[in-house]
Chains A and B, each alone.
Chain A
Amino acid sequence: MGKKRKCALQVIMEDAGIEIDGQVESDTESEEDKAKKTPKKRTPRETRRTSRLERKKQDKYKEEEESKEEDICSQQNGTSKRKNYQRENKDGKKAGGGSRQRDKKAPTKDQKESENKEKKTSKNGKEGENKEGTDRKNSTSSDSSGEESLSEEELAMLMEQVEQKKKLISTMRNKPWRMVKKLSVLREAQAFVEKFEGALGKGKGKKLYAYKMMMAKKWVKFKRDFDNFKTQCIPWEMKIKEVESHFGSSVASYFIFLRWMYGVNLVLFGLIFGLVIIPEVLMGMPYGSMPRKTVPRAEQATAMDFSVLWDFEGYIKYSALFYGYYNNQRTIGWLKYRLPMAYFMVGISVFGYSLMVVIRSMARNANESTADGDDHNFIFSWKMFTSWDYLIGNPETADNKFASITTSFKESIVDEQESNKDENIHLRRFLRVLANLLIICCLCGSGYLIYFVVKRSQTFSKMQNVGWYERNEVEIVMSLLGMFCPPLFETIAALENYHPRIGLKWQLGRIFALFLGNLYTFLLALMDDVNEKLAEEDVVKNITHWTLLGHHNSSLRNGSAATPPPLDPADVPRGPCWETTVGIEFVRLTVSDILVTYITILVGDFIRACFVRFVNYCWCWDLEAGFPSYAEFDISGNVLGLVFNQGMIWMGSFYAPGLVGINVLRLLTSMYFQCWAVMSSNVPHARVFKASKSNNFYMGLLLLILFLSLLPVAYTIMSLPPSFDCGPFSGKKRMYEVIQETIELDFPLFVAKIFSYVANPGLIIPAILLMVLAIYYLNAVAEAYQRANTELKKKMQMQREEEKNKRNNKASTSPVLQDMEDLLTPSPKRETHPKQAEDKNMEPPGRTSPGGKQGKPAALNGSPRTGGRGAALSPPPPQRFVTQPPMLGVRAPYPGQLRPWRQPLGTVPGRGRGQPWYSQAAPYAPR
């Protein structure tokens, strides 16, 4: 019998252990406190005494709370120790229990009774709350030693209650009560939990149980600390928050995007740096050991000049930053590191990783945006209630926010009015077509200009003694185009008269097209260049061959016995190495882009801001409000710049592994620089620009750019022959041959066979077909879901309309009935003050309560002061009082209203939802 009971207890206890593990979170503050205050070791007896004492003066305040929380811990320790003590007693056949044991016998009964009471109360459900207080008093007077005599059922009941209390503690913060009430209820609950938690662990596993509890608490504390640590580790969080609080969330979104970019680039940098550059530098042949790693004789005199270095010629050109430096040795160093293979794989994985990251974050964003749901039902309401950003704490920002809210209201008013009328659609269409034509002309013109400039630069590059301008013409022209075209587009877009939001998208799309066109013209011109170089290479190859041969021959002729003096690597004639040229081109472009961006910020924002601020005192018109004013932070332009820069990095990183490093530096500096510039010299946007929605738009642009930058790289890898005398793939016909080589030489034969099978077109084409089919299927499924979604939305709308109509009809027929319905629909303000509850206790339900009477005149008077009093009396918003009293008389004749507090008669589907705390609060609602 005893054994059996023990087993059952153990099971229960284990249950409790597990459940409690999940629930302890709310108690962890006690852990923190405990950690701060050095935990004193108390004997069990002391603990009990102090806890009792402390329970008496529980009504006190905050410091008290802390000490109490500490007390919880000590109490727990105490209980566990006590249990041990008891078990020893038990083992000693209870005979040797001594006086202590006898002392406890009297209260045992008491305890049991109280437990029984509690059992009843919990059966009675809601009535539990008040009685529990008394119960607890009983049980506190009796010491909690009578656990042995509890049956399993009672234990289970107790456990349930403890759980309930714990839940209450953890959800306490979600309740709209006054703090005072919260505190008092919290104390009650905590006391209850701390009291009876100990009672649950019994029998054999006591120690284990206590240990479990301890570990759970430790674990939770650790988790919390770790979370804190994690949030502290997020870089620039404070900076971004600061910007956010001044400029609203849209500007902050740019910085978050920048930070995200920085993270991605850091990973790319790690990949390239760790797997390509470091091994080459450490284990590859040193500088000057072979032609490709040496500056040619002709350039050596100027190779260290700053002007040369600035153009990424000279020593930089022949460094590990660029493709040409790498050797085509199959394995390097004692690790037998396969550098060419690694170079190739890293080049591919850079794209692979970027694609994965972009798509993943896009998917996440899409999830979030669909979760938000863009319902167009509440345009005005949302504007009214959610447009003010409570974060704003800066007068200027506040002014701007006021202005923008006003304009947005006006906009939507205009929209509202315009949705009805439709004037002169032909003129508008004509204007729009015209605008698009103009913009296409602009795009073509800029494309041609770039092509022309790049061509010209090729002729310049053949000439000697060209000036600074000629050398940097391409970059300058591209930057200028990037600077002046967007405003031009904006003026043209004014013709179109689009809605601002749509207009913004168009604008973004056009700038994107401009940049893209420029980039691709640049690429095409570069490709011409590359082809020329390839032709040149063939010639040089022969020359090199002949030179080497000639050298060899001459040395042979001179002295056959002596070994020929090796030809100095600097003297070997070499090919143009088109890969390095491309890499240099990209690096130059990136650097000039960085410079232009920074100078624009410095001049366009900072100097302007200084000028406006200080010259304003002695100027004929108001500079701050008038023409120059302060610069706005151009979010879209900045984001686009970032996106294009990233595209350039992706394209160039294959030819210039060091480019990613430069980019990391750039992002890092621009984070600080732009943060500073924004805070010091910009004013927030006048136009509302929603960050949350356009986020995926940016990501989409990024994906597009990624794909487009993948194309040229893939083309060069697959179909251009690599240079014969530089780079890791020299000597091969195509770059990808490095894979075949590795498979053939390093893997067993069957792998090569499998690979050849897999690479068979007969297998690839079906695979592609399969993928296409899968995409088609998934697309169809998604469409079906979407349709179902819209259908549901429509239904909801219909229902709403119906409801409205019904209501309106009712309102016209019988106001009384409508009042009834108002009464019946659940209002979330179920919570009433305990006082109120007591009042209700005395009177049968369905009668006017004094509180109600009191509330009614207050509402009638409409004086906020008395209303506020009512609110003060009842911690929740006093809605109950006001809505209820008039109906109280009517209520009686209707059945089912005897318990109007309890059951929502869910008449309106939209009403009952969104009140999850209602059910939690139910047990404590008045009866």
Chain B
Amino acid sequence: QDCTFFTRKEILRLHGRYYEMAPNVVPMDYTRDPDVKLPMQLIINMPELKENPFKERIVLSFSEDGEGSLSFNDFVDMFSVLSEMAPRELKAIYAFKIYDFNTDNFICKSDLEQTLNKLTREELTEEEITLVCEKVIEEADMDGDGKLGFADFENMISKAPDFLSTFHIRI
């Protein structure tokens, strides 16, 4: 409980959800510390995540093995970070991970393009996309290296008024 922003009841509820997704795999008691992981396919079909354009990225950023499988720990971790009580800094860190598509620790142009395409379902034209990406980099890139490092990202996101209200999932 100290590791998350949940109360005991909520964690149990989370476990219920986790268990629901694959009742035959997930055990009910963890006394022997089994190593159970659910594949990404199951997780992203949760109603909370289903409509999210970044669902794969979310799951990937939180999975310990980098392939999208979540153990229950990771699962709780994910919703803890995305809960309302999590502080801005923590959320920023994970948001950065989510938007960093190629996991090179920078949000570069290709990341931005992918983000944009997911956000708009590829309804913008090429020029518009490049324009927007250029604008984003121009706005947020403070060290002039043509991509956004975490410091840039955090600086930008810390001033965003809606970040906290939008970057959370209620479960």
A residues with a Cβ closer than 8 A to B are 26, 29, 32-33, 59-65, 169-170, 172-176, 178-180, 182-183, 186, 190, 241, 245, 249, 372-375, 377-382, 384-395, 397-398, 402, 405-406, 409-410, 413, 416, 692, 800, 803-804, 807-808, 811, 818, 821-822, 825, 827-829, 859, 862, 864-865, 867-869, 871-872, 877-879, 882-883, 908, 910-911, 914-917
Contacts and interface: CB of A to CB of B under 8 A. Distances in A.
A173 B166 contact: no
Contacts of B163: 382, 385-386
Contacts of A60: 31, 33
Contact of A908 (B31, B136, B143, B161): B143
A64 B104 CA distance: 38
Interface of B: 1-5, 8, 29-31, 33, 47-48, 50-54, 60, 63-67, 73-74, 76-77, 80, 82, 86-87, 89-90, 92-97, 99, 102-105, 112, 115-116, 119-121, 123-124, 128, 131-132, 135-136, 139-145, 149-151, 153-163, 165-170
A64 B65 contact: no
Given A395-B51, A807-B143, A877-B96, A385 B156 contact: yes
A917 B105 contact: no
Contacts of A175: 90
A172 B168 contact: no
B47 to A, nearest CB: 5
Nearest to B73: A179
A373 B156 CA distance: 13
Contact of B144 (A245, A390, A811, A879): A811
Dominant SS at the A interface? helix
A402 B8 CA distance: 36
Given A398-B51, A868-B103, A384 B132 contact: yes
Contacts of A179: 3, 73-74, 76-77
B93 A385 contact: no
Contacts of B5: 173
A346 to B, nearest CB: 39
B112 to A, nearest CB: 7
21 contacts: A33-B8, A172-B2, A378-B140, A381-B136, A385-B153, A386-B157, A386-B163, A386-B166, A387-B162, A388-B54, A402-B53, A405-B120, A413-B132, A807-B143, A825-B143, A859-B104, A868-B65, A868-B67, A869-B65, A871-B103, A878-B103
A868 B95 contact: no
Contact of B50 (A33, A393, A828, A869): A393
A64 B31 contact: yes
B142 A910 contact: yes
Given A385-B163, A394-B51, A872-B66, A174 B132 contact: no
B136 A63 contact: no
A176 B31 contact: no
Contact of A380 (B87, B105, B139, B162): B139
Given A375-B159, A406-B120, A406-B124, A822 B33 contact: no
Contacts of A804: 141-144
Contact of A807 (B77, B123, B144, B169): B144
B24 to A, nearest CB: 20
Contact of B89 (A381, A393, A915): A915
B90 A384 contact: no
Contacts of A878: 103, 105
Given A378-B140, A803-B142, A173 B2 contact: yes
A256 to B, nearest CB: 13
A378 B116 contact: no
Contact of A381 (B123, B156, B168): B156
Contact of B140 (A381, A825, A914): A381
B158 A914 contact: yes
Contacts of B89: 174, 828, 914-917
Contacts of A807: 142-145
Contacts of A373: 159, 161
Contacts of B48: 393
B66 A883 contact: no
Contact of B2 (A169, A381, A394): A169
Contacts of B95: 385
A386 B160 contact: yes
Contact of A864 (B50, B66, B140): B66
Contacts of B168: 390-391
Residue from A62, A65, A869 having most chain B Cβ neighbours under 10 A: A62
Across the A-B interface, give the 9 residue pairs with the lowest CB-CB distance, nearest first: A868-B66, A179-B73, A398-B51, A807-B144, A879-B105, A182-B3, A380-B135, A867-B103, A372-B161
B169 A63 contact: no
A390 B115 contact: no
Contacts of B123: 402, 406
Contacts of A241: 170
A382 B160 contact: yes
Nearest to B116: A384
A828 B150 contact: yes
Contacts of B158: 914
Given A178-B73, A410-B128, 19 more contacts: A175-B90, A245-B170, A378-B140, A378-B156, A382-B162, A390-B82, A391-B168, A393-B51, A410-B124, A804-B143, A818-B143, A827-B149, A828-B93, A828-B150, A828-B154, A868-B65, A877-B96, A911-B142, A914-B92
